[in-house]
Amino acid sequence: MSTTIRPPSAAPGPLDAADELNRRLRTTRTEPSRSPQLEALALAVTANQPVLLWGEPGIGKSAGMEQLAAGLGLGLETVIASVHEPSDFAGLPVVGDDPAVTGVPMAPPDWAVRLARRGQGLLFFDELSSAPPAVQAALLRVVLERRVGSLELPEAVRIVAAANPPSSAADGWHLSPPLANRFVHLRWTHDPRTVARGMAGTWPALGVPVVEPAKVPGAAARARGAVSGFLTARPGLVHHLPADAESRGRAWPSPRTWDMALRLLATGYATGAGREAVAAALTGAVGDGAGIELLSYLEHLDLPDPDRVLADPDAFALPERGDRQLAFLIAVVAAVQGDLTRKRWEAGWAVLAKAVEAGVPDVAARAAVDLAAMRSLDWPVPPGIDGFLDLLRQSGALPQGG
């Protein structure tokens, strides 16, 4: 049976009014509103850390992705992980004229090609917990190495996934520990008042955090000092694989996720993100237990801007608490390393000398070794190094007769 296409000038069809009704219902507006879960998502995406949203079906995870992509000005590519085969992510072999010479390249899917051509975008893997283990294993390389077949995704491509708890997912699976440990896990919930207002036509606007260029050096140094100082005080939290399968499929601490936490914290410092959003992102990286301890540590840390300290080291006093002293000195040395000049290097030694004056040179020992390793051969030895000479000779940072 043939289908007749009605020209634009023809009489209205029976569904035209229904289509107009649906268009009106799709027309909504947004208003400024604080949503810690939206802010945490935007913070993690800004930091370019893979994010996994956990929530029940039908609560707006996909709609949140559309809003986020629009707010960032990025194209959105949605991939339903549960309906794909492992080869869809590992690539399909394409045999050329002489495989013994050229090898056999693995052809990527169309969505990966579109992202590579644009050079940026938001890649959204939906229904991740419904994907069988073989598909999850294939996704490891996409999330960690950004490779799909023989194609490497641009660095500017952000990766977000969504999953339903296994109890509410169709044929749900627990995530494998290697895959789970590559994501920042965020709980995605609904606010009845927000939904009610949305039904009236108004939804909350997504505020995208913007990194302030002037804050970048100090933010990186402060985050390094805070995370390194915390792990020095709590070495048992560097790596802890949970015992049960469900917990292993969520956030837990490892060197990889601590690196994620470092980047999230630095981005939070550089954007001025809200405390609740930063807290959600950090616990989503390393898990609730380690994350709550880190947040408590940060609450009482209150590190000054290391660049301001280096600009006038005599104006700052060494913190009284040992853990704050360590984090403070690590941050100062990280700031010197981020913008290494002779003046800043010498200012770093003036700061470390305060530890000697305070009678706690052991707190500054590691920082002193790191700072000494940055020295250019034509720079003279500054006075502040005197209290560390024996330590530096033992470590090899200075010759025995130097």
Predicted local distance difference test score (pLDDT) of residue 72:
85
- pLDDT class for 303, splitting at 50, 70, 90? confident
Predicted local distance difference test score (pLDDT) of residue 155:
94
Q: State mean pLDDT over 126-149.
A: 88
DSSP state of 127: -
Residue 93 has pLDDT above 80, yes or no: no
Structurally, at CATH architecture level, domain 51-95+103-182 sits in: 3-Layer(aba) Sandwich (3.40)
- pLDDT class for 388, splitting at 50, 70, 90? confident
- pLDDT class for 172, splitting at 50, 70, 90? low
Instruction: Of 28-42, 185-199, 210-224, 313-327, give the range with the top mean pLDDT.
Output: 210-224
Distance, CA of 38 to CA of 199 (rounded, Å): 19
Q: C-alpha dihedral over 195, 196, 200, 202, to 10 degrees?
A: -40
For tokens 């700072």, the residue is: 371
**Token reading at 143:** 């999330």
Residue 19 has pLDDT above 70, yes or no: yes
| Chain segment 334-364, per-residue pLDDT in tens | 999 999 999 999 999 999 888 888 888 788 8
Residue 2 has pLDDT above 70, yes or no: no
Q: Please state, as a whole number, how many other Cβ atoms lie within 10 Å of the Cβ of residue 47.
A: 25
**Token reading at 137:** 């294993």
Residue 245 has pLDDT above 90, yes or no: no
Mean pLDDT of the chain: 86
- One-letter-per-residue 3-state SS of 240-280: CCCCCHHHHCCCCCCHHHHHHHHHHHHHHHHHCCCHHHHHH
Looking at per-residue pLDDT, the higher value among 256 and 55 belongs to 256
DSSP state of 57: T
- Residue 109, SS3? coil
Q: State mean pLDDT over 8-19.
A: 78
**Rounded to whole angstroms, what are the CA distances from 60 to 163, 175, 190, 359?**
12, 21, 8, 57
Handedness of CA 387, 391, 393, 395 (dihedral sign): negative
User: Shortest CA distance to 92 belongs to which of 106, 76, 109?
Assistant: 106
Residue 207 has pLDDT above 80, yes or no: no
Looking at per-residue pLDDT, the higher value among 180 and 363 belongs to 180
| Chain segment 48-92, per-residue pLDDT in tens | 999 999 988 877 777 788 888 888 889 999 999 888 888 888 877
DSSP state of 131: S
Predicted local distance difference test score (pLDDT) of residue 398:
53
Percent of the chain with pLDDT over 90: 43
Residue 395 has pLDDT above 60, yes or no: no
Handedness of CA 292, 296, 299, 303 (dihedral sign): negative
Instruction: Of 13-17, 28-32, 176-180, 257-261, give the range with the top mean pLDDT.
Output: 257-261
Residues of the chain with CATH 3.40.50.300: 51-95+103-182
Predicted local distance difference test score (pLDDT) of residue 7:
60
Predicted local distance difference test score (pLDDT) of residue 256:
96
User: Shortest CA distance to 178 belongs to which of 146, 128, 144?
Assistant: 144
Residue 390 has pLDDT above 70, yes or no: no
Residue 4 has pLDDT above 70, yes or no: no
- pLDDT class for 131, splitting at 50, 70, 90? confident
Residue 18 has pLDDT above 70, yes or no: yes
Predicted local distance difference test score (pLDDT) of residue 220:
94
**Cα angle vertex 217, ends 211, 219, to 5°?**
60
Predicted local distance difference test score (pLDDT) of residue 170:
54
Look at 227-231, 238-242, 375-379 and tell me which has the smallest mean pLDDT.
375-379
